[in-house]
Amino acid sequence: MNFATLGDLSQTFLFKSRNAELRAQMQQLQTEVTTGLASNTREHLNGSYAQLTDIERNISVLTGYRTVGNEARIAIDTMQATLTGMQSRTSDLAANLHLATQAAGQTSLELATQDAETVFRSVVSALNASVAGRALFSGVASDSAALANADALLNSLRTAISGETTLTGVDAQLYSWFNMPGGGFETIGYQGSLDEGNPFKLADDVQISVALKADKQEFRDVLKSVAKAALAMDPSLGFAPDLSRTLLATAAGELTTMQSGLVDLAAGVGLAQELVEDTTARNEAALSSLQIARNELLGVDGYEAASKLEAAQSQVELMYAVTVRASRLTLLDFMR
């Protein structure tokens, strides 16, 4: 027969209270053993938070700059890849157009115009590139594509040069469409903003903005020359064979000439890449130093914490043993 006296109930309450206290202590000690940091910051710092607050504020700022730096790196690397790809494709196209115009048959010319249309579409697609929903070549209007789709552009250009029968006439219409205020490029082609995109703030004293929009003259020139080649043998335009060949030859020369401009643009983006890398590296070094300082400020002796945890575990085990023994007390044992 087992029963409890008033003293037993009091002792049970004491055991429960002590058990809860030990469990809380064990949880704190387990955290300290695992992380190496004090679980009770206030007690560890004796209530002095000034240094810790300053460190954590700077860590928060640098963590924010890390995020911006990653966004800037991705955006600028994508821009560089766009320029590199554009340079490669237009250089290859120029060579293909040159070879085609030297050949005797029409088949090579037709294949060259097909190649030009493919390149035109790829250039439009590249200038409409976006990263994380942010259009890269639209300026501040980063929520919309920089250019209308390739079909809309080609249809508008067909209309512009329709009826022309000479190289001079075609070139004049293309120039007007791409370069004149209120021309087709400004009203139909370019859908971005006239203002540059917002800069990336990489540090307190460093911000960077790559002024590269799809309405830049170098891009207009590329699109104009590639479109000239793409439409040179368009059946709906009905150009004479000699004019078609001349348009292709002219486009080849223009694309060859403009390669240096694309290289210059790529060099400018390369400088931006270097600045992002240098600033990011500097921020990471500062962040690492602050994290070390924070750990030193809040760090605990791992051996001491492990010893305290073992002692607390031993006390819990002892309490359980005593509780089990008391719960098995019989009337005979009690009377003794």
Indicate the pLDDT class of residue 134, thresholds 50, 70 and 90. Answer: confident
Are 11 and 146 found together in one domain?
no
Are 109 and 224 found together in one domain?
yes
Are 249 and 190 found together in one domain?
yes
293 falls within a domain:
no
Are 80 and 113 found together in one domain?
yes
Identify which has the larger pLDDT, 38 or 162. Answer: 162
Judged against a pLDDT cut of 80, whether residue 204 lies above it is answered with yes
Cβ atoms of 209 and 196 closer than 8 Å:
yes
How far is it, in rounded angstroms, from Cα 161 to Cα 154?
11
Judged against a pLDDT cut of 70, whether residue 158 lies above it is answered with yes
Check: pTM over 0.85? Answer yes or no: no
Q: Burial-class residue 303 by CB neighbours within 10 Å (0-12, 13-18, 19+).
A: exposed
Long-range CB contacts (within 8 A, 24+) of 158-164: 158/231, 158/234, 158/236, 158/237, 160/184, 161/231, 161/237, 162/236, 162/237
Assign residue 97 the CATH number of its domain. Answer: 1.20.1330.10
Are 19 and 84 found together in one domain?
no
Indicate the pLDDT class of residue 335, thresholds 50, 70 and 90. Answer: very low
Report the domain count for the chain.
Answer: 2
Indicate the pLDDT class of residue 312, thresholds 50, 70 and 90. Answer: low
Are 134 and 170 found together in one domain?
yes
Are 105 and 248 found together in one domain?
yes
Judged against a pLDDT cut of 80, whether residue 24 lies above it is answered with no
Helical H segments across the chain, by residue range: 6-35, 41-44, 50-102, 107-127, 150-161, 167-179, 184, 217-230, 241-257, 259-298, 302-327, 331-335
Range of the domain at 199: 72-288
66 falls within a domain:
no
Q: Give residue 331's pLDDT.
A: 46
Q: Provide the 3-class DSSP secondary structure of residue 300.
A: coil
How far is it, in rounded angstroms, from Cα 57 to Cα 70?
20
38 falls within a domain:
yes
Indicate the pLDDT class of residue 6, thresholds 50, 70 and 90. Answer: very low
Judged against a pLDDT cut of 50, whether residue 1 lies above it is answered with no
309 falls within a domain:
yes
Are 83 and 148 found together in one domain?
yes
60 falls within a domain:
no
Average pLDDT over residues 255-274: 94
Are 150 and 264 found together in one domain?
yes
220 falls within a domain:
yes
244 falls within a domain:
yes
Indicate the pLDDT class of residue 334, thresholds 50, 70 and 90. Answer: very low
Are 198 and 132 found together in one domain?
yes
65 falls within a domain:
no
DSSP 8-state assignment for residue 196: P
Judged against a pLDDT cut of 50, whether residue 271 lies above it is answered with yes
Are 83 and 30 found together in one domain?
no
Q: Give residue 303's pLDDT.
A: 47
Judged against a pLDDT cut of 80, whether residue 323 lies above it is answered with no
Mean pLDDT lowest for which of 1-15, 24-38, 83-97, 105-119? 1-15
Mean pLDDT lowest for which of 38-52, 88-102, 247-261, 280-294? 38-52
| Averaged pLDDT of the chain | 83
Judged against a pLDDT cut of 70, whether residue 318 lies above it is answered with no
The string of DSSP letters for 63-88 reads HHHHHHHHHHHHHHHHHHHHHHHHHH
Indicate the pLDDT class of residue 292, thresholds 50, 70 and 90. Answer: confident
Are 228 and 250 found together in one domain?
yes
